[in-house]
Amino acid sequence: MAAVTEASVENNIKVTFITSNKGKLLLVLNNYLYKRNKKTSTKKYWLCINNECTMYVHTDTNDKYLYGGTAQHDHEPNPEMVEARQVRQKIKERALKELIPISMIYEEEIAKISNHSTTLAILPTSQEIYPSVAKARQKTIPLLPQSCLFDVPDDFKTTTDGKRFLLSDASPARRERVLIFASDRQLDVLFHSPIIYMDGTFSKSPPHFTQIYIIHAIVFDILNKKSVTYRHIFDELKQRAAERGKTFSPAMIMTDFEADFLPVFPVSKHYACFFHYCQAIYRQIQHLGKQQDHSTNESFRVLCRKIVALALMPREHIIDSYKEVHADADKLPGYPIQELLIYFEKNRMQLKLAAELDIPLVLHCRGAHLFELMFHELELHLNSMHKIHWHCINQASDLNVITSFLKYFNNAYIGLNCSILSQEDIESNTLFHKWILSHEDITR
């Protein structure tokens, strides 16, 4: 499709071209439109689009003006119609080159027209022009891939001015893929910024990808929400920064509620969205099946609200306040809030503060299935010399995890909470005490 271009200027005669709705080239001269009648080896013959008008224009095969079109037409020119066609052509051309919404392109082009222009009255509305423009755009876009294993088209690897845009295309694990898009200019802006803002969307992600994650002007298509995937992205960015003689270590990071970024930038200040934080807490209440407790048990509900309120407290009071919540939680019959507290700790709020303030950490953990998760979180945030007291360990505990825990953390202590509930528990308790004293392998 030809663009609106100036073909020649000769004897003060200006010739331009636009395309019709059917894709045919039209010549514009003095606000009159001409359609091509025929072509020879040396010339092109153009006739006025008004079938009753006999005016003509001749150009060479390169669309350079030769003669014609200077006499009087037997009808008035229609500059508004010509301008309307040019606007439609511009909208269509931009829609083929740019990926922003067609409605936005329409509004931007309409804004360039004078409010008093008759052109506004004869132009089709955004809804009327959308189908034809969208159809033209769709023809230029490759078919959606059937899986994540596809070749990125060349047009999507570069910017509109031909510079690199695809930064990385990697598969950190089998059947997983991470696409990172960023121009050199965007990287320079990112690496020089002391504050970055990050957020992701799941509803708008393309097929075969879980989410699109955005950092300033950088966009990621990722297949999952795993910590290892996030780390791969930022490891890639840190490497690119080093290649450019820069360090990617922002002083402050603002996210919705992405705990997985904390170990990636341990020295940065992390600020999270309070709305998403509250949303995450309540979704976990639903996930744990505690909606009934939240609705009917006032003590449970108050503790949940206190957990939410921790995010609004002065930093120096958070640890003590969390201990108060934990103490109140232990008083509830059946420990209904225990798993929610584990989730809270797992998401690094308490652990992050403990690591930064270098204070001893006290852990309460009664669920055997939670021990490995807790140990993994401790490894991520605390150094091996951090003082930890992990109590509420009983005969249901995973001894392999406890062994790894004590070997890794040199200043850690295990608190026992062993009670003999039946005759068959005697052997388990005896073995457990033997293991604590001798560290012999009793799991066989």
Pairing of strands 388-393, 361-364: parallel
Helical (H) or strand (E) element with 279: helix 274-287
DSSP H helical ranges for 116-159: 119-122, 126-140
| 365 and 434 in a common domain | yes
Is 8 inside any structural domain?
Answer: no
Q: Is the dihedral of CA 17, 18, 23, 26 positive or negative?
A: negative
| 313 and 411 in a common domain | yes
- Nearest CA to 92 out of 187, 181, 3, 219 is that of 3
Is 101 inside any structural domain?
Answer: yes
Q: How far apart, in whole angstroms, are the C-alpha atoms of residue 157 and residue 16?
A: 33
Q: Please give the structure tokens belonging to residue 36.
A: 């091509």
What does the buried/exposed string (b/e) look like for 17-34 if buried means 16 or more CB atoms within 10 Å of the residue's CB?
A: bbbeeeeebbbbbeebbb
| 407 and 321 in a common domain | yes
Is 1 inside any structural domain?
Answer: no
| 407 and 284 in a common domain | yes
Give the pLDDT confidence score for residue 415 in this predicted structure.
57
Average pLDDT, the chain: 75
The answer to whether 290 and 300 are in contact (CB under 8 A) is: yes
| 85 and 56 in a common domain | no
Is 148 inside any structural domain?
Answer: no
| 184 and 87 in a common domain | no
Is 244 inside any structural domain?
Answer: yes
| 119 and 43 in a common domain | no
Residue 364, SS3? strand
- Per the structure, the count of domains in the chain is 4
Residue 73: DSSP 8-state: P
Give the pLDDT confidence score for residue 425 in this predicted structure.
44
Give the pLDDT confidence score for residue 2 in this predicted structure.
42
Q: How far apart, in whole angstroms, are the C-alpha atoms of residue 270 and residue 347?
A: 13
| 339 and 248 in a common domain | no
Q: Please give the structure tokens belonging to residue 289.
A: 């099946």
Burial class of residue 59 (count of CB atoms within 10 Å of its CB; 0-12, 13-18, 19+): buried
Give the pLDDT confidence score for residue 212 in this predicted structure.
84
- The residues facing 5 across adjacent strands are 17
Residue 262, SS3? coil
| 194 and 295 in a common domain | no
Helical (H) or strand (E) element with 436: helix 425-438
How many Å from the N-terminal Cα to the C-terminal Cα in the chain?
A: 76
Give the pLDDT confidence score for residue 6 in this predicted structure.
43
Q: Please give the structure tokens belonging to residue 412.
A: 């850690």
Q: How far apart, in whole angstroms, are the C-alpha atoms of residue 105 and residue 107?
A: 6
Residue 106, SS3? helix
- Region class of 25: left (phi > 0), else alpha (psi between -120 and 50), else beta: beta
Q: How far apart, in whole angstroms, are the C-alpha atoms of residue 79 and residue 56?
A: 18
| 102 and 63 in a common domain | no
DSSP H helical ranges for 1-75: none
Q: Please give the structure tokens belonging to residue 133.
A: 């423009």
Q: How far apart, in whole angstroms, are the C-alpha atoms of residue 68 and residue 34?
A: 11
10 Å Cβ neighbour count for 329?
Answer: 20
Exposure of 151 in the CB half-sphere (CA atoms within 13 A): 3
CA-CA distances (angstroms) from residue 247 to 192, 193, 297? 9, 11, 50
Give the pLDDT confidence score for residue 8 in this predicted structure.
45
The answer to whether 304 and 328 are in contact (CB under 8 A) is: no
Exposure of 235 in the CB half-sphere (CA atoms within 13 A): 10
Is 149 inside any structural domain?
Answer: no
Amino acid at 285: I
Q: Please give the residue range of the domain that contains residue 205.
A: 154-252
Q: pLDDT by residue for the chain (444 residues), tens digit each?
A: 344 444 444 456 778 888 887 778 889 888 889 999 889 988 999 999 888 898 889 988 888 888 888 888 888 888 888 888 888 889 998 998 888 889 999 988 888 887 767 888 888 888 988 998 999 888 888 888 888 888 888 888 998 788 999 998 888 777 788 898 988 888 888 887 776 777 777 777 888 888 888 876 455 555 555 666 777 777 888 888 888 888 877 766 666 555 555 566 665 666 556 666 777 788 888 888 888 888 888 888 888 888 878 776 777 787 788 888 888 888 888 778 888 888 777 665 444 544 444 445 556 554 555 566 666 667 766 677 776 766 555 545 566 667 777 778 777 766 554 433 333 444 545 555 555 455 555 444
Q: Please give the structure tokens belonging to residue 274.
A: 């309070």
| 354 and 307 in a common domain | yes
* Cα 174 to the center of its chain, rounded Å: 22
| 341 and 404 in a common domain | yes
Is 110 inside any structural domain?
Answer: yes
Is 180 inside any structural domain?
Answer: yes
